[in-house]
């Protein structure tokens, strides 16, 4: 577990440097984000910085105390951001359920939770009626490799599995789409063929530089990708 935590922290530190890539990811969900947002698994605030734009009220949460401290350091002076804890492995706190959100944003978190149905139920319970969940998870189980293991991924998802689980707990799936098509091959080579349990910094930085090219994905509607995005609405 300690090794998973170290690997995850190292990865978050790398991702923090990928400003273009992080904004590109944010753009994939931006249209679905309402004015009052719960971000689950904020980490070190890579996406939080974009969510709190346009006077949105954002509750940035993480179960790791060190990440919450970092979030407080980064956003403590921002009146639109509060920092707290939201644990997908525990029942949602009554005070949060009683004051539900317009949107829950959960990016690269669900795959870390063994009982993902329970986790989806907790996010549903803190949404107002017709509220939306913006979800990003790793896709394609055949890509599951050493890096997935190192950072504590229980699984990678297919569209069918993710849609089925969302519907099972009371969501209506509005949209699913693959994301980051060009990253699939290096991920497969690193994690499955070379058995690497880390993300090569050079490749991550290259992806950041190539974002203007990667944006062409939206015109392609890629049939596969490193990640899977789902926008779902609470019934």
Task: State the pLDDT at residue 206.
Answer: 64
Structure tokens at 18: 């990928």
Task: State the pLDDT at residue 9.
Answer: 56
CATH value at residue 222: 3.40.50.150
According to DSSP, the residues that pair with 82 across neighbouring strands are 59
Count the domains in the chain. Answer: 1
How deeply is 68 buried, as exposed, middle or buried, from its count of CB atoms within 10 A (0-12, 13-18, 19+)? middle
Instruction: Please say whether the dihedral angle defined by the alpha carbons of residues 147, 149, 150 and 152, taken in this order, is positive or negative.
Output: positive
Closest Cα partner for 203 from 126, 128, 163, 147?
A: 147
According to DSSP, the residues that pair with 83 across neighbouring strands are 60
Q: With a cut of 50, which residues of the chain have pLDDT below it?
A: 2-3
Q: List the domain range (segments joined by +) for residue 113.
A: 2-234
Q: Are 19 and 208 in contact (CB under 8 A)?
A: yes
Task: State the pLDDT at residue 16.
Answer: 55
Task: State the pLDDT at residue 15.
Answer: 54
Structure tokens at 29: 């969900």
According to DSSP, the residues that pair with 106 across neighbouring strands are 40, 135
Q: Are 111 and 230 in contact (CB under 8 A)?
A: no
Task: State the pLDDT at residue 92.
Answer: 97
Encode pLDDT of 102-124 as tens digits. Answer: 999 999 999 999 999 999 999 99
Task: State the pLDDT at residue 183.
Answer: 87
Q: Dihedral, CA atoms, 36, 41, 42, 47, nearest 10 degrees?
A: -80
DSSP letters along 49-118, please? HHHTGGG-EEEEE-S-HHHHHHHHHHHTT-TTEEEE---TTSPPPHHHHTS-EEEEEEES-GGG-S-HHH
Residue 81: which residues within 8 A CB-CB, separation 6 or more? 48, 52, 58, 59, 60, 71, 75
For 33, the 3-state DSSP assignment is: coil
């Amino acid at each position: 577990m300690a090794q998973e935590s170290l690997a995850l922290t190292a990865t978050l530190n790398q991702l923090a440097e990928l400003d273009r890539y992080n904004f590109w990811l944010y753009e994939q969900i931006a249209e679905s984000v309402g004015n009052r947002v719960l971000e689950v698994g904020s980490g070190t605030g890579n996406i939080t910085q974009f969510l709190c734009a346009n006077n949105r009220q954002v509750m940035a949460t993480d179960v790791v105390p060190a990440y919450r401290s970092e979030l407080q350091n980064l956003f403590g002076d921002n009146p639109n951001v509060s920092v707290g804890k939201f644990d997908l492995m525990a029942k949602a706190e009554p005070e949060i359920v009683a004051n539900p959100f317009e949107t829950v944003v959960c990016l690269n978190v669900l795959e870390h939770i063994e009982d993902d149905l329970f986790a989806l139920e907790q996010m549903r319970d803190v949404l107002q009626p017709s509220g939306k969940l913006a979800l990003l998870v790793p896709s394609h189980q055949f890509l599951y490799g050493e890096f997935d293991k190192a950072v504590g991924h229980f699984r990678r998802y297919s569209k069918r599995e993710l849609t089925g689980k969302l519907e099972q707990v009371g969501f209506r799936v509005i949209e699913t789409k693959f994301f980051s098509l060009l990253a699939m091959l290096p991920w497969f080579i690193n994690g499955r063929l070379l058995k690497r349990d880390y993300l090569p910094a050079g490749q991550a930085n290259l992806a950041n530089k190539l974002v203007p090219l990667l944006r062409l994905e939206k015109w392609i509607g890629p049939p596969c990708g490193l990640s899977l995005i789902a926008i779902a609405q609470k019934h």
